[in-house]
Structure 1
């Protein structure tokens, strides 16, 4: 069962983010607070969206997808950038990950978006195999760059 997240889901979304950070071996990077998530997802100007995967029997959350809109200047339309997709290990292999991606693909088709994109760590072979089994293909010609923390502050400092 996939459903749109509600404000009541904020604590579980934060917990799932922390579980994902542990899985990706960077627990110190998961610094988002419940207040930040509430503002981003449900504040005055929401810029991020989330869906919850729930156990079909109990209704308990077992995973989530957190995403936002991007824009293709070449195609002239929005797309979805999937920031995080995570399913708890006990629920993997039961279709929750595919159901989350299917819901995002449905939103793309319904709204005329032409891309659904995400990044995956090079070492995450199980996820890569899963994504490729759905027909996703890596964009080998692109390299992700990032500015954060002190480097971002230094570059963005007023001149």
Structure 2
């Protein structure tokens, strides 16, 4: 039997698994799990609370008949809005596949699923960012038809800088 892959929307019971995937992604991105301030409680509140801010799809793999299904990867995404398009966009925040399952097409399946979600929701765009040193992922995305938007530079305000900006007095 060839390995089988199943994609499923995450549930509140998956918060520990989602946090584990996020920590594994941090390691892949040359950080440490303790640099991830997310907690199961924060994920539960912000993914499954009264106002969910994002959604998660989990990939499960069964390698052989009779074996137990194992979590193999995840995609965390949310919707944004393009004023130029006049329509929503789908933004992929995180995509991670465990190293031992990377040759099974799971990353592509997750991206195809999200592209289908984007089309079903009439999104004008499906976007994500990738670290500039992550050449294997860059080549993978380009091979799927993604276009690098090199003219756009991400700006971020967080931590103490966000606190300071939020306290600015407007005259």
State the alpha-carbon separation in 1 of the partners of residues 62 and 141 from structure 2: 23
1:80 aligns with 2:86: no
- For residue 7 of structure 2, what is the aligned residue in structure 1? 2
State the alpha-carbon separation in 2 of the partners of residues 125 and 92 from structure 1: 15
State the alpha-carbon separation in 2 of the partners of residues 51 and 4 from structure 1: 4
State the alpha-carbon separation in 1 of the partners of residues 114 and 160 from structure 2: 34
- For residue 56 of structure 2, what is the aligned residue in structure 1? 50
Measured after TM superposition, the shift of residue 7 of structure 1 is 1.1
- For residue 125 of structure 1, what is the aligned residue in structure 2? 135
Measured after TM superposition, the shift of residue 121 of structure 1 is 0.1
How many residues were matched structurally?
Answer: 159
Q: Which runs of 5+ in 2 are unaligned?
A: 1-5
Provide TM-score, normalisation by structure 2: 0.90
Structural mapping, 1:20-35, within 5 Å: 20-27=25-32, 28-35=34-41
Stretch of structure 1 that moved more, 28-37 or 17-26: 28-37
Measured after TM superposition, the shift of residue 158 of structure 1 is 4.9
Structure with larger Rg: 2
1:106 aligns with 2:116: yes
State the alpha-carbon separation in 1 of the partners of residues 35 and 155 from structure 2: 17
State the alpha-carbon separation in 2 of the partners of residues 59 and 72 from structure 1: 39
State the alpha-carbon separation in 2 of the partners of residues 51 and 14 from structure 1: 13
State the alpha-carbon separation in 2 of the partners of residues 141 and 20 from structure 1: 26
Q: Which runs of 5+ in 1 are unaligned?
A: none
Provide TM-score, normalisation by structure 1: 0.96
CA RMSD of superposed structures (Å) = 1.1
